[in-house]
Amino acid sequence: MNTVRFARRPLDCLIEWQRRYGDVFTVKLLVFGTGVYVADPDEIRAMFTGDQSDLLAGEANAPLSMILGESSVLVLDGPEHLRQRKLLLPRFQGSHVKEFRDVIRAVAEAEVGGWRDGDEFPIRERMRALTFEVICRAVFGVTEPQRVERLRAALLALIDTGPLLLIPEALRRIPLGPLGPWARFRRRLAAADALLYEEIERRRSESDLERRTDVLSLLLRAHDEGGRPMSDLELRDELFTMLGAGHETTATALAFAFDLLLHNPETMARLRDELGSGDDAYLDAVGAETLRLRPVIDAAERTLTRPRVIAGYELPAGIRVYPGIALVHRRADRYP
Ligand code: HEM
């Protein structure tokens, strides 16, 4: 019952459970197993400072490795996670991120330029198209419209079969023939992989590789501390990870921003005014407040490798702990 309710209305369930049981409570869900939510910011800080060798982050994401691959930063833990993380990080720091602004602006202007007064459409679909295009250009470095479209068709078809991964392993093995969902999944995976490997190969032979600023080009030039470059398999997995982690999250957040702005005309009017005067501070505040009220991901996730005391409770090894992002965001003591 709890699994069905949580799948249908996750935020309402979390709020109700917190009201009934307080800031720390155990939830038993089908597929995801038993987990402990922690909604106290001080306890979360204590958990994430100091030694974290008993907390696994990648392990909880293991089912995703069927799409993202075994080398994905999202499914790895320990030294291998650190290696991938160090290779990825430089492109997402400081001045590098500013370089993405021009790409994002161009894609957003082209998208909104196609809208007409009076048109009606589900905003989330348009935001998915927009954030896919941004990732294609900024991360994959692919700009030719035809290639973008090929990638869009193949990669989104694969991502849209993602919920299949929640089906328990035993059921997945039931043979359903070439028309079954698993055969379809494998065909889509093979088609998406072929395109990604083609882009990696093409980029490697590009004469301006040294000057390019997209993430793939940076990763092709990167070496770890031992001087080892990334393998094609690692490159494929990280490209897919950034698409998987960055495309629907941002699309959903943007769609919620529109929803909240359209329901708050005063905020919308002020946002227009502030942007008109060239100041981005209010825009940043609107972004932060949107993510506070409508967090795209309700909780982080860690698996304990050893028993550990969290928020005063002795929790056994193997249990999942969920620092409750959505619940922390709604605390009146932090956000009056
Ligand atoms: C509104 C947008 C986004 C939200 C709400 C969001 C949220 C999150 C959260 C909650 C985590 C887990 C952190 C943890 O457990 O420690 C995460 C991890 C990650 N995200 Fe995002 N994210 C967003 C956008 C993006 C974008 C645009 C990218 C890349 C282009 C991205 C790439 C990643 C990666 C690679 C990880 C794994 C990091 C690691 O394991 O070291 N995310 N994100």
Interval 289-306: pLDDT, tens: 999 999 999 999 999 999
163 pLDDT more than 90: no
Cα separation, 284 vs 281, in Å, equals 5
**97 CA to middle of ligand 1, Å?**
15
Q: Check if the beta carbon of residue 37 is closer than 8 Å to that of residue 327.
A: yes
Q: Counting atoms of ligand 1 from 1, which one is nearest the CA of 57? A: 15
**91 CA to middle of ligand 1, Å?**
14
**247 CA to middle of ligand 1, Å?**
10
Q: What confidence score (pLDDT) does residue 73 get?
A: 94
Higher pLDDT, 59 or 331: 331
Q: Ligand 1 in contact with 245 (CB < 6 A)?
A: yes
**What is the band of 167 on the pLDDT scale with cuts at 50, 70, 90?**
low
Q: pLDDT digits over 259-288, tens only?
A: 999 999 999 999 999 999 988 999 999 999
Q: Report the SS3 class of residue 212.
A: coil
Residue type, 193: D
Residue 298: burial class (beta carbons within 10 Å; 0-12, 13-18, 19+): middle
Percent of the chain with pLDDT over 70: 96
Q: pLDDT digits over 80-125, tens only?
A: 999 999 999 888 888 788 889 999 999 999 999 999 999 999 999 9
Whose C-alpha lies nearest to ligand 1, atom 27?
246
Residues 6+ positions from 14 with CB-CB distance below 8 Å: 37, 298, 324, 326, 327
Q: Ligand 1 in contact with 303 (CB < 6 A)?
A: no
Q: Ligand 1 in contact with 86 (CB < 6 A)?
A: no
Which residue is associated with the tokens 């390019």?
212
Write down the pTM of the prediction. Answer: 0.92
Cα separation, 35 vs 61, in Å, equals 14
Q: pLDDT digits over 36-69, tens only?
A: 999 999 999 999 998 888 999 998 888 889 889 9
**135 CA to middle of ligand 1, Å?**
14
